[in-house]
Structure 1
Amino acid sequence: MVHETTKVHGHEVTVTTTSTSTVAPALPSQEQRLALSNLDLLLPPMDVGVFFCYAGAGQGAAVAAPAPILKVSLAKVLVAYYPLAGEVVANAAGEAELLCSGRGVDFAEASAGGAELRDLRLGMVDESADKLVPKKKAGVMCVQVTKFKCGGAVVGCTFDHRVCDAYSFNMFLVAWAAAARGSSVTLAPSFDRSFLAPSNPPPPCPDALADRLFVPVSCVSAPPATAAVTNRIYRVAADDVAALQESAGHGRGRRTKLEAFTAHLWQLYARAAASSGQRRTCCMGVVVDGRTRLRRDGAMKGYFGNVLTIPYGVKGSDDLRGMALADAADDVHRWVVEAATGDHFRGLIDWVESLRPEPTVAKAYLGGGDGFGDGAGATACVVSSGMRFPVGEVDFGWGRPAFASYHFPWPGGAGYVMPMPSARGDGDWMVYVHAAPEVVTAMEQEPTVFKALDCDYVFDRV
């Protein structure tokens, strides 16, 4: 048994792993290798987590013993989503690729002892989710289900980001939940790499925008010492989201909610720099999905893999603090729209092809420079929209989750922020934040927008 201890409301709670197993696909298949696409190869080796809290009260005995349901349905859905049951290996060129071996998914069952879900301080990620989301040791994906005294349970998953993005994993989660309920889904996963095939013949010169947004790893100087980071989950009320959007588009056309939120966050980073007595440049990036940009006919709707780019902007902290929100949002809109085109994604595919097997990295994570040296003195953050997170559809047969969030405490120095819809369906946002302590302080000191996440908000409707 493995014991992990976390503090909730000042009390020590021990999460004990009671059993471990490996869930293989329900039907055997021939071992095969599946190449990662050029857009997959943009990702370094890193894992992403996600977790769902099911309250259980008044919903029958199924939540009290969720593991058998989860295992049987997982085995079924892995037949279609077979790459998740494989492992990432190196090919002859040293690049990562998928070995679809059917090894299965590591599955842990755990108990939180005498703790109840309501005890968890979900907003304090380092105290709660870190013990409820499993750490992957092998394979592409792993699962942990943790039972609580109240009859509730938390289902946590971790997956290799090189294999898929959040859009893809959301597809899998919906299919897994449907299998548990005995239902079916109409959207089947596609692993057709021809969607992301490089040009033949290759273009005569590299894509200029791709060259601005990404850089070969060999051009990056050694990273600085890892700085302290804080992980939080906040609530942003629907009214505050609407107010940000209204302010961001004031007198100059409508901006999306994500653009408005990103502009506000960018300015918060500038305030954090000022509060620490530093005059720094602030780099803000936004993850853009390319499925509908590459194929407007919907052919890539079921594509499983990474189809992402990360445009960014860089401004001095003094400049950002002196700007109106609408001006900052205009800047965000400009560089997001520039990258949200099929031409850019096709150029990015060809750019990666011209460098293979040299690995690359997004400049947004480096403060906008070609290396850590160029970005010295810069703060960096990337915003990834989780607004398509299908919280209400991840029902394994015991009702909608009371709470759910992605979980990405990655080891890099750049911040990472992901807004997601509230499980309550009331228009509020849940915002996962991985950032420097001074940025978190700036968030918590402002009078609006970022609100503490308390258990009454999460569980008062249960």
Structure 2
Amino acid sequence: MGEACEIEAIMSVKRFDPILVCPEIKTDDGYYFLCNLDQNIAVIMQTVYCYEPSDKDSKNVADVLRQALARVLSHFYPLAGRLTLSPDMKLIVRCTNEGVPFVDAVADCKMEVLGDITVPDPPTLGKLLHTIHGAKSILEIPLLTAQVTRFKCGGFVLGVAMNHCMTDGLSALQFLDAWTETARGMSLTTSAYIDRSFLRARQPPCINYSHNEFMEISDISNMTNLYQEEPMVYRSFEFDPEKIAKLKKIAMEDGVIKSCTSFVALAAFLWRARSKALKMKSNQQTKLLFAVDGRSKFDPPMPKGLFGNGIVLACCLCTAGELVEKPLSFAVEQVQNSIKMVTEDFIRSAIDYFEVTRARPSLTATLLVTSWTRLSFNSIDFGWGKPSQSGCGTLPEREVALFLPTGKDKTTTMLLGLPVTAMKSFQELIQVK
């Protein structure tokens, strides 16, 4: 972390006042419905994209991106509104067309000072993102903000902060692609389908599953104190195809499972190693939560170009003793079984469960894995070429781990934060032998 402090000291960023960017064409006003799948993930996702100097001058990049944003917001107009609460105390968007805060900024150094941004470094990367300080709740934070920071070398960085209640990974990428296409003077490849009403709760609600993802777990392993007493450190770990093949071989060596995907092997391996590193007691219950894309689970499938959250949380639940003492195949089988459980009826049941209980997934003794390995965030081209690298400003919750593509030979980067002593143990446990 010493390197991050050094970077923070030598990089100074001058921000100009935010400009509110509104949809170029007048759009609907009133209120925009957010479904129950959206309610549980109202956290700000921060992403940063680095663009190296190119033959194309970047002096006017902020103007180009701001004007393109105004045009594309005509298709994604709820992003220009503000969150509020409906009469039944659910999140809903007030379509005020208040606008998206857009900041033009200048750094006093070359972009190479940033180094590798795949590991979150909030003090440094926070300078490249427009955040709202002093907000008392998520209702006071705009649904989308953008900042373009130009560097002395001619390169620039785009920092985007977006509320997850508006988009999952696929629809966030759809919005960014539409923004880039607009900036390059192209028509949109995919039209935005913004009506989420087909995901309304059933009347009467029908809950057909236990939905352990919402279950409260007692912290009998004193992890809460560990997180409070020690600083969080973030690390990234690369898993190339050879390491992943070894993991799969270990998972299948006792014959319990016949095959598994890379995601399943990595998620199971991470869940076990993190539980060990946090010194969970043998009888400590622990959960693994991960997002499963529900678009193809519906019959007929969810509408093409869905702008929203088409994901549902799958859940594995067992004791830490079972997880770490049994072979890796046990954890892998847990993950596989939870994936099989996700059907249209399961997703409808999860929607109805929230309608009845208003429960939110508990994260005590829980690991929440999000995978972006199939999302091409490194292909976002506004006309200055593709980003040389991209990363997260910070992870939204301390329980979150992120799988990212590296762009080289199907290697996956695993990114997470842990208290410093737990991270020391984790770094040993995550070695594939």
> Which interval holds the TM-score relative to the shorter structure?
0.7 to 0.9
Q: Given the alignment, which residue of 352, 355, 367 partners 1:353?
A: 355
Which stretch of structure 1 is more off in the superposition, 257-266 or 382-391? Answer: 382-391
- C-alpha separation in 2, matches of 1:90 and 1:124: 32
- C-alpha separation in 2, matches of 1:298 and 1:312: 23
Residue 269 of structure 2 aligns with which residue?
Answer: 264
Matched, 1:106 2:67: no
Matched, 1:432 2:418: no
Deviation (angstroms), 1:174: 1.0
- C-alpha separation in 1, matches of 2:374 and 2:386: 16
Q: Residues 390 and 10 (structure 1 numbering): CA distance in 2 closer, same or farther, change over 3 Å?
A: closer
Deviation (angstroms), 1:330: 1.4
**Alignment-mate amino acid for residue 70 of structure 2:** A
- C-alpha separation in 1, matches of 2:128 and 2:244: 29
**Alignment-mate amino acid for residue 397 of structure 1:** G
Matched, 1:55 2:39: no
Deviation (angstroms), 1:390: 1.7
SS at match of 1:287: strand
**Alignment-mate amino acid for residue 395 of structure 2:** P
- C-alpha separation in 2, matches of 1:35 and 1:321: 43
Residue 402 of structure 1 aligns with which residue?
Answer: 388
Residue 149 of structure 1 aligns with which residue?
Answer: 152
- C-alpha separation in 1, matches of 2:107 and 2:282: 43
Deviation (angstroms), 1:133: 2.8
- C-alpha separation in 1, matches of 2:78 and 2:123: 32
Q: Residues 279 and 208 (structure 1 numbering): CA distance in 2 closer, same or farther, change over 3 Å?
A: closer
SS at match of 1:310: strand
SS at match of 2:27: coil
Deviation (angstroms), 1:268: 1.0
**Alignment-mate amino acid for residue 214 of structure 2:** F
SS at match of 1:441: helix
- Post-superposition Cα deviations, 1:20-60, rounded to whole Å, max 9, x if no partner, equal 211111112242211211221233x421111111112xx22
**Alignment-mate amino acid for residue 268 of structure 1:** A
8 Å contact kept, 1:124–1:233: no
| Number of matched pairs | 414
- C-alpha separation in 1, matches of 2:34 and 2:418: 30
Alignment of 1:107-126 (within 5 A): 107-122=102-117, 123=119, 125-126=121-122
Q: Residues 9 and 24 (structure 1 numbering): CA distance in 2 closer, same or farther, change over 3 Å?
A: closer
Residue 136 of structure 2 aligns with which residue?
Answer: none
Residue 290 of structure 1 aligns with which residue?
Answer: 294
Residue 341 of structure 1 aligns with which residue?
Answer: 343
Residue 187 of structure 1 aligns with which residue?
Answer: 190
Residue 134 of structure 1 aligns with which residue?
Answer: 130
Matched, 1:32 2:30: yes
- C-alpha separation in 2, matches of 1:143 and 1:40: 22
SS at match of 1:7: helix
- C-alpha separation in 2, matches of 1:307 and 1:437: 35
Deviation (angstroms), 1:9: 5.2
Q: Given the alignment, which residue of 167, 188, 198 partners 2:201?
A: 198
Among the aligned pairs, what percent are the same residue? Answer: 24
> Root-mean-square deviation (CA), in Å?
3.0
- C-alpha separation in 1, matches of 2:372 and 2:86: 32
8 Å contact kept, 1:233–1:432: yes
Q: Which consecutive residues of structure 1, in runs of 5 or more, have no partner in the other structure?
A: 1-5, 367-378, 450-462
Which stretch of structure 1 is more off in the superposition, 381-390 or 63-72? Answer: 63-72
Q: Residues 384 and 430 (structure 1 numbering): CA distance in 2 closer, same or farther, change over 3 Å?
A: same
8 Å contact kept, 1:406–1:432: no
